[in-house]
Amino acid sequence: MKSGTSAALSPPADATPPVRHPEAPAPGEPLGAHYGQCFGCGGDQPHGLHLQARAGEGVSVTAEFTVRPAHQGAPGLAHGGVLASALDETLGSLNWLLRTIAVTGRLETDFVRPVPVGATLYLSAEVTAVAGRKIYCTATGRTGGPDGPVAVRADALFIEVKVEHFTENGRPEEIRAALDDPDQVRRARAFEVNP
Ligand SMILES: CCCCCCCCCCCCCCCC(=O)SCCNC(=O)CCNC(=O)[C@H](O)C(C)(C)COP(=O)(O)OP(=O)(O)OC[C@H]1O[C@@H](n2cnc3c(N)ncnc32)[C@H](O)[C@@H]1OP(=O)(O)O
């Protein structure tokens, strides 16, 4: 049974359907990591989720994440916060398709079934509505295959921010390193609004 979603995650009356950016990656294309040190998608985080997302149709993505021993809460089972991170990361990757820089404002998660170590979580997410800077989206994670039973799901509100959100709030050494890395700058540009 789906639990109730809070009023904060119900789009207002003037919300509009999301618009896929004309230069968004084609359906099936891998999105890659937005930052090598990202806990969700980065390849340089030994205990990270190493989540790999691909563009879907419209403003949707799919992703997979395999639970490793470093992700346990109870013996042999994934930690709920890690599963919420996988949902958050998948939802965050939707912003590649809008070409909008946005951060999670609110994330509401249902944990439906326990997810064992070694299991692969098949995630899918889509943007449902946009209202000004507010991006409403939803995600599910299934086990056993892309059509397997739902183990986790989330509804979320992302808020569009400017790049200064990161440069003014992030620890200076990581910001400096990111700005000095041409590959990182190129990936940040891919988020920029308006071609
Ligand atoms: C060199 C650098 C390269 C960088 C390259 C970047 C690459 C791209 C990286 C992406 C990374 C993704 C990674 C995964 C996704 C995370 O995990 S992101 C990390 C977790 N999230 C955060 O840290 C966000 C922390 N929170 C904040 O900074 C601020 O609260 C926010 C979210 C920016 C909002 O603050 P604000 O801009 O002052 O906006 P505010 O005016 O308060 O609110 C705007 C609207 O949103 C609503 N709202 C705001 N918060 C909420 C809420 N929690 N609940 C409900 N409504 C809310 C407000 O009510 C308001 O509504 P309206 O009045 O317009 O109707």
Q: Which whole-number Å values give the CA distances from 114 to 2, 54, 71, in the listed order?
A: 16, 25, 13
- Closest-CA residue, ligand 1 atom 27, reads 105
Domain count, the chain: 1
In a domain, 195, yes or no: no
Distance 89 CA to ligand 1 centre (A): 14
- Give the position, in ligand 1's atom list, of the atom nearest the Cα of 169: 28
pLDDT tens for each residue of 138-161 = 999 999 999 999 999 999 999 999
Residue 22: inside a domain = yes
| Ligand 1 site, residue 132, Cβ cutoff 6 A | yes
Asked whether residue 58 is assigned to any structural domain, the reply reads: yes
- Ramachandran angles phi, psi of 71, nearest 5°: -105, 10
With respect to residue 169, please indicate whether it lies within any of the assigned structural domains. Answer: yes
Q: Classify 41 as helix, strand or coil.
A: coil
Predicted pLDDT of residue 184 = 81
pLDDT in tens, 73-126: 999 999 999 999 999 999 999 999 999 999 999 999 999 999 999 999 999 999
What helix, strand, coil percent values describe the chain, rounded to 5? 25, 30, 45
**Helix boundaries (H) for 11-93:** 80-93
ipTM of the complex: 0.97
* Within a domain: 7: no
The answer to whether residue 4 scores a pLDDT higher than 80 is no
> How sure is the predictor about 191, in pLDDT bands with cuts at 50, 70 and 90?
low
Give the percent of the chain with pLDDT over 70: 95
Q: What is the pLDDT of residues 29-82, one digit of tens each?
A: 999 899 999 999 999 999 999 999 999 999 999 999 999 999 999 999 999 999
Distance CA 80, CA 26 (A): 32
- Compute the C-alpha angle 189/160/17, nearest 5°: 105
Q: How many residues does the chain have?
A: 195
Tell the residue nearest (CA) to atom 12 of ligand 1: 92
In a domain, 9, yes or no: no
Q: What is the CATH number of the domain that holds 89?
A: 3.10.129.10
Answer whether residue 5 is part of any domain: no
22 pLDDT band, cuts 50/70/90, is very high
Give the burial class of 96: count Cβ atoms within 10 A of its Cβ; 0-12 exposed, 13-18 middle, 19 or more buried. buried
Domain that residue 138 falls in: 16-189
pLDDT band, very low/low/confident/very high, at 178 (cuts 50, 70, 90): very high
Mutate which of 89, 100, 103 for ligand 1? The one with the most ligand atoms within 8 Å of its CB, which is: 103
